[in-house]
């Protein structure tokens, strides 16, 4: 294995990524929209000391088929609910950039960083469908290139807003009567193609300074955004070799180090035959659920072996269980113990990924003001 330590995250989507997963025994489908469901999943993830808990989101209802799992809770809400209940895992909600105001994204993720004591991340996504545009009363959708350019602008302005309060802006100076030092608050004055933001943020600088930015890589547009802005990239690919090539291109384009994780859709059972059976049954119930990335149907041991063999350039994986909680339970009890992952030092998500806490870009060096 080329990397130390192997990074491991999970993406948790209600009953699992497969739209028919809610029908499996143990899924408790009536509870998918309750806190109890998410607390159970959060506790499992915490037990395995995983690096990331990603919560997907979109404004689509999704399927129009009454047999499919559909509807979803707001991802930031789920992450915020889990923040006081967990101590270790990074909480990474998806917040889309096409219809949500960048200013709101800035303060929501910064606040998650406060309530999780420095474990917040943000996964960037775009909304590509006319369905979502209609929901917001916008006419039509822009082409993906434009949406991702807007996403890049959003990351840029959000990062500026996270820096818009220097760390020591709150002075509480009784003698002068000043609560803040206004010289340490900064207008971000961003002017983009599709929006402008004046700043500063209403939220002071959060524990990590800059929460972890995660970008999915699934085409040239998202690859460019990941190269320019991501702390962590998630690569969607049909096989490991292609993913490793994409990781290479990504690093070259970025000209800097960044963590690259492979997306792996997983369904685990005690035997490989059983896993294949269950997956087959799910595909029968909904034949339209094509894999979006590498898929691993097997046992905890086969998945652990596959993860240990990831090609160079891939630092680990984000596992997307096709079904919950069964597969997650096996990840916790069987996969993680089989991998030798050293204990993580530090309590923030950036520390977990070996990233320093950056100073605000607006802070002048050496106190010259």
Paired strand residues for 260: 233
280 binds another protein (CB under 8 A): no
Ranges within 184-203 binding another protein (CB under 8 A): 185, 194-200, 202-203
Report the SS3 class of residue 66. coil
The DSSP string of 286-337 is -TT---SSEEEEE-HHHHHHHHHTPPTT--EEEEEESSTTHHHHHIIIIIHH
| 188 secondary structure, DSSP code | -
Tally Cβ neighbours within 10 Å of residue 162.
Answer: 26
User: Residues touching another protein: how many (CB under 8 A)?
Assistant: 79
Ranges within 39-58 binding another protein (CB under 8 A): 39
71 binds another protein (CB under 8 A): yes
Q: For residues 137, 125, 94 and 335, what is the CA-based torsion angle, rounded to 10 degrees?
A: 150
Q: Give the side-chain half-sphere CA count within 13 A for 305.
A: 7
Region at 255 (left for phi over 0; alpha for psi -120 to 50; beta for the rest): left
* Beta-strand pair 259-268/294-298: parallel
Q: Which of 1, 2, 134, 277 binds another protein (CB under 8 A)?
A: 134
Q: In this complex, which beta carbon is closest to another protein, that of residue 189 or of residue 239?
A: 189
Q: How far apart are CA 95 and CA 261, in angstroms?
A: 19
88 binds another protein (CB under 8 A): no
The stretch among 166-174, 208-216, 324-332, 356-364 that binds another protein (CB under 8 A) is 166-174
Q: Which residues contact 23 (CB under 8 A, 6 or more apart)?
A: 29, 285
Q: Which of 142, 228, 272, 285 binds another protein (CB under 8 A)?
A: 285
74 binds another protein (CB under 8 A): yes
70 binds another protein (CB under 8 A): yes
Ranges within 97-126 binding another protein (CB under 8 A): 99-104, 107-108, 110-112, 114-115, 117
Q: Which of 46, 49, 131, 146 binds another protein (CB under 8 A)?
A: 131
142 binds another protein (CB under 8 A): no
The stretch among 47-55, 83-91, 238-246, 349-357 that binds another protein (CB under 8 A) is 83-91
Q: Which of 76, 261, 306, 324 binds another protein (CB under 8 A)?
A: 76
Q: Which of 78, 226, 317, 324 binds another protein (CB under 8 A)?
A: 78
Q: How far apart are CB 327 and another protein at their closest, in Å?
A: 17
165 binds another protein (CB under 8 A): yes
């Amino acid at each position: 294995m080329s990397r130390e330590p192997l990074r491991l995250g999970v993406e948790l989507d209600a009953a699992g990524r497969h739209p028919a997963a809610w029908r499996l025994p143990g899924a408790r489908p009536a509870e998918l929209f309750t806190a109890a469901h998410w607390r159970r999943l959060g506790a499992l993830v915490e037990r395995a000391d995983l690096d990331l808990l990603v919560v997907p989101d979109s404004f689509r209802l999704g399927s129009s088929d009454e047999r499919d799992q559909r509807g979803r809770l707001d991802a930031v809400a789920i992450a915020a609910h889990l923040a006081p209940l967990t101590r270790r895992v990074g909480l990474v909600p998806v917040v889309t950039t096409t219809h949500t105001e960048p200013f709101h994204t800035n303060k929501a993720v910064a606040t998650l960083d406060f309530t999780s004591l420095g474990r917040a991340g943000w996964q960037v996504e775009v909304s590509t469908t006319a369905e979502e545009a209609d929901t917001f009363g916008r006419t039509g959708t822009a082409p993906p290139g434009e949406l991702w350019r807007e996403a890049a602008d959003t990351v840029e302005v959000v990062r500026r807003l996270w820096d818009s309060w220097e760390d020591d802006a709150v002075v509480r100076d009784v003698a002068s009567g000043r609560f803040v030092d206004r010289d340490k608050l900064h207008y971000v004055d961003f002017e983009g193609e599709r929006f402008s933001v004046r700043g500063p943020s209403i939220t002071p600088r959060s524990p990590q300074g800059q929460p972890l930015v995660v970008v999915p890589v699934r085409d040239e547009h998202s690859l460019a955004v990941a190269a320019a802005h991501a702390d962590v990239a998630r690569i969607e690919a049909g096989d490991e070799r292609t993913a490793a090539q994409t990781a290479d291109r990504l690093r070259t384009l970025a000209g800097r180090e960044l963590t690259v994780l492979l997306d792996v859709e997983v369904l685990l059972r005690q035997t490989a035959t059983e896993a294949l059976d269950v997956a087959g049954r799910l595909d029968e119930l909904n034949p339209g659920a094509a894999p979006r990335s590498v898929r691993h149907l097997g046992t905890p041991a086969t998945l652990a072996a596959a993860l240990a063999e990831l090609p160079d350039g891939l630092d680990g994986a984000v596992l997307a269980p096709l079904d919950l909680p069964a597969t997650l339970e096996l990840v916790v009890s069987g996969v993680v113990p089989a991998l030798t992952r050293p204990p993580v030092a530090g309590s923030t998500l950036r520390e977990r990924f070996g990233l320093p806490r950056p100073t605000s870009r607006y802070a002048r060096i050496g106190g010259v003001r």
